[in-house]
Amino acid sequence: MRLATLRNGTPDGALAVVSGDGHRYLSTAAVAPTLQAALDDWRRVEGPLRRLAVAVESGEGVPLDDRALVAPLPRAWQWLDGSAFDAHGRLMTRLFGLQAKQADRPLMYQGLSHQFLGPCDDVPLPRESDDIDFEGEFGVVTDAVPMGVSSSQAAAHIVLVVIVNDWSLRALAREEMKTGFGWVQAKPACSLGPYAITPDALGTGWDRHRAQLRLRVEVNGARFGDPHGGEMSVGFDELIAHAAATRTLCAGTIVGSGTVSNDDYLTTGSSCIAERRAIELLEHGAATTPFLRFGDRVRISAIDRSGRSPLGAIDQRVVNSRATDVSAAEGAV
């Protein structure tokens, strides 16, 4: 089942079930008006939503204009981002000189969740000198998770799979990481892909609680990387159990994989600039790939074995928030 959210002038938008080819949708208003409402009551609404999905697959519904889609969850109560690709962690540790990874526990931080940018929205940021970077990731959306679940119990709480661009400001990240407090300024609003899909709908693209898909990243139309999602050192089940050790997770919590990265990074490329710069430094003694400039475009999609893109694409342009937002510009010195 493939879900998406249509722009309707409200903060949470209108939930829709979308056909596999992405051409048609059916409103779910009679079952659940928003994705958050559906997740709050998932056990009751999953059946009716799946019946709508069968209907749209059989030809019902109306034409879908991709530009009408916002993020599946335009806001969420909680965004917890892991760092489960150890190849990325090792490279970043060498770049930043911090010994981040603890042997016995996943890495995770809590980030901004009151706003997720839609797949085609511009990305407003204040300064190129903050070293603007992207991070291509997979994410899962959970229903309500009790405190203290085991990883085997946690697996049943994975409701939907999404792709994420975890925008990062590297010049600020280095400073904030030294404090031990995690990132605030270095992590502005993330972006989500257009579709949130139940794991079963990914077929062989979902196994061992990991997305078995390549994450294809393009910058200004050129390939940047296409690392595989299967190389997570811990699965989403373990990330959820880690997150829920001392808290309940509310329905609609989004848990991220961290930057997708593979051991054979020289072949697969990277899904963030900082990692490519670390590789350049290791291989050639100097980092040459620049961070993003205003006007640059980043496209992220997840590709299955058949070359299809079941989670859709995030395709955005970075813009100067001070040029586009009068109130923000007034606040800037």
To its own copies, the closest distance from the beta carbon of 93 in angstroms equals 10
Sign of the dihedral through C-alpha 69, 72, 76, 81: negative
Distance from the Cα of residue 98 to its chain's centroid? 25
Query: What CA–CA distance (Å, rounded) separates 84 from 2?
Result: 25
Binding to its own copies by residue 71, rule CB under 8 A?
A: no
Q: In whole angstroms, how far apart are CA 169 and each of 81, 112, 217?
A: 16, 14, 18
Binding to its own copies by residue 223, rule CB under 8 A?
A: no
To its own copies, the closest distance from the beta carbon of 105 in angstroms equals 7
> How many residues sit close enough to its own copies to count as binding (CB under 8 A)?
64
Q: Site for its own copies (CB under 8 A): which residue of 17, 18, 95, 149?
A: 149
3-state secondary structure of 218: strand
Binding to its own copies by residue 329, rule CB under 8 A?
A: yes
Q: Which of residues 89-148 bind its own copies (CB under 8 A)?
A: 98-102, 105, 107-115, 124-126, 130, 146-148
Query: What CA–CA distance (Å, rounded) separates 164 from 67?
Result: 18
Binding to its own copies by residue 156, rule CB under 8 A?
A: no
Contact stretch for its own copies (CB under 8 A) within 52-60, 66-74, 175-183, 293-301: 175-183
Neighbours of 172 (CB within 10 A): 18
Taking the chain, what is the end-to-end CA distance rounded to the nearest angstrom? 48
Task: Give the chain's largest Cα–Cα span.
Answer: 60
To its own copies, the closest distance from the beta carbon of 56 in angstroms equals 31
Binding to its own copies by residue 153, rule CB under 8 A?
A: yes
Binding to its own copies by residue 175, rule CB under 8 A?
A: yes
Cβ-based nearer residue to its own copies, 44 or 114: 114
Considering only CA atoms, which of 164, 151, 143 is closest in space to residue 32?
Answer: 143
Cβ-based nearer residue to its own copies, 101 or 308: 101
Binding to its own copies by residue 9, rule CB under 8 A?
A: no
Cα Rg of the chain, angstroms: 19
Packing angle, helices 86-96 and 273-284, rounded to 10 = 70
Contacts to its own copies by CB under 8 A: 75, 77-78, 80, 83, 98-102, 105, 107-115, 124-126, 130, 146-150, 153, 169, 172, 175, 177-186, 188-189, 242-248, 250, 253, 321-322, 325, 327-333
